[in-house]
Amino acid sequence: MSHIQKRFICFLVCSYGMIASSWGCGVNSHLWITDSAICQLPVGSKLRVFYEDQTHVNLTRLGSAFPDSGYAINHPYGEVAHWPPFVQAYVEDFHDRYGNDESAWSEVAYDEVAFILGVAAHGYEDELFDSQFLRWVEQEDLEGQDIIDPAIDFLLIYEGHTELLPPLDFPSASATSALQRAGVDVTEAEVSTGVARVHQFALRLSQSPTTLQALVERDAPLIPWATQHYLNRNITGSLAHEPARVAALLEGLFDRLSGLSIADQVISHVNPSVPKRLNRDGLSNRDQSQWITFYFKTGVLHDSVIENLILRDATGEPVMYHSRGTRWGGVMATLDCLKFRLRPHQ
């Protein structure tokens, strides 16, 4: 490898690292998961028809990269944009401008809906990846987030799974308005700069095959288990495990934007799925395969779940359990998924 190539790789990694080293999977992984989620929407459903418009697909793709754009310019809005309270602020801001009557929405409003869906998908994907797949990697490869985030992104592109590059076109004014509503001091120029930087340094990696090869050869040997399983849909939190759950999130958020309540269907998935049962003999093991996980279509109040949940064994007897929110949220007020670990026999 030439000296110039080495310098270019260093520049790419340093620039990309500002984006990928934040909590969560890499930016291209977000586009892949979100795109896969769109493909898993039920054929003929309202949202699947919505995505027959390629403009909507592109806006959702770019929206799924949006939260990391704050990290790209070292701005606090990157962290805020990852969490359910910001999504709620965006929904309220949208309703103030366009209302919740879908039949009255303009084409511009529909375009903004597509972008909001992508923004919400990003934070959800990060929480599932970090709370589940990252824990597997820590257990199996003994590596952490600084390695796994960029490495999987590099590998995903290098192995030819994604070359998605949506146009650099998004509702910057409304995104800024939603951030300001959420209490962030940010300008439209800052938001536009952040998105442009993500678009330039993260979403164009496929255009540098030699560089990608060098990065994969450097990082992949450090995470052999992850490179084998990152697209294994049977591994919780993997890139292939997430799309079905993200698809449910997209449907729930579209309904909320349309003024519909999802209160009676807020839980979209449960792991392990029925009729699989946990083996209580191994409960002293901290392996996450011993956890029951609920996935939600929106952020929920932690206490509202705990106060109304009773876990029972096969005989119908109540079982004691520990509860834990997503990795970075802990037991914060709103979260996207919640894990329950049965207490071992005393």
Q: Which DSSP string corresponds to 180-221?
A: HHTT----HHHHHHHHHHHHHHTTTGGG-HHHHHHHHHHHGG
CA–CA separation, 228 vs 142, rounded Å?
Answer: 15
What is the model's pLDDT at position 277?
A: 62
What is the model's pLDDT at position 268?
A: 92
Shared domain for 277 and 249, answered yes or no, is no
Structure tokens of 58? Answer: 């592109």
Shared domain for 233 and 284, answered yes or no, is no
Shared domain for 121 and 214, answered yes or no, is yes
CA–CA separation, 184 vs 86, rounded Å?
Answer: 10
Measured torsion, CA atoms of residues 310, 313, 316, 317, in degrees rounded to the nearest 10: -70
Per-residue pLDDT of the chain (346 residues), as tens digits, is 444 333 333 334 444 454 454 545 778 999 999 999 999 999 999 999 999 999 999 999 999 999 999 999 999 999 999 999 999 999 999 999 999 999 999 999 999 999 999 999 999 999 999 988 998 999 899 999 899 999 999 999 999 887 778 999 999 999 999 999 999 999 999 999 999 999 987 777 777 788 889 999 999 999 999 999 999 998 989 999 999 999 999 999 999 999 999 989 998 998 887 656 665 554 445 566 677 888 999 988 777 788 888 888 778 888 887 787 777 655 443 445 566 665 443 3
Question: What is the number of structural domains in the chain?
Answer: 2
Shared domain for 252 and 267, answered yes or no, is no
What is the model's pLDDT at position 331?
A: 41
Instruction: Single out the residue in 235, 257, 279 at which a domain terminates.
Output: 257
> By three-state DSSP, how is residue 63 classified?
helix
Structure tokens of 255? Answer: 């309904």
Instruction: Single out the residue in 208, 235, 257 at which a domain terminates.
Output: 257
What is the model's pLDDT at position 274?
A: 67
What is the model's pLDDT at position 38?
A: 97
Gyration radius from the chain CA atoms: 20
Shared domain for 291 and 220, answered yes or no, is no
CA–CA separation, 137 vs 159, rounded Å?
Answer: 20
Domain assignment of residue 32, given as a range: 3-257
What is the model's pLDDT at position 148?
A: 93
Q: Could you tell me the CA-to-CA distances from 268 to 265, 271, 290 in Å, in that order? A: 7, 10, 20
Shared domain for 226 and 121, answered yes or no, is yes
Shared domain for 287 and 210, answered yes or no, is no
Give the pTM: 0.87
Instruction: Single out the residue in 257, 273, 296 at which a domain terminates.
Output: 257
CA–CA separation, 31 vs 278, rounded Å?
Answer: 33
What is the model's pLDDT at position 345?
A: 36
Shared domain for 149 and 187, answered yes or no, is yes
What is the model's pLDDT at position 205?
A: 74
Q: What is the DSSP letter of 344?
A: P
CA–CA separation, 256 vs 279, rounded Å?
Answer: 38
Structure tokens of 20? Answer: 């990928």
The strand order across the sheet containing 321-324 reads: 267-271, 291-301, 334-342, 321-324
Q: What is the DSSP letter of 318?
A: B
Shared domain for 239 and 273, answered yes or no, is no
Are 24 and 82 within 8 A, CB to CB? Answer: yes
Shared domain for 301 and 192, answered yes or no, is no
What is the model's pLDDT at position 341?
A: 60
Residues in the chain: 346
Shared domain for 176 and 203, answered yes or no, is yes
Shared domain for 217 and 270, answered yes or no, is no
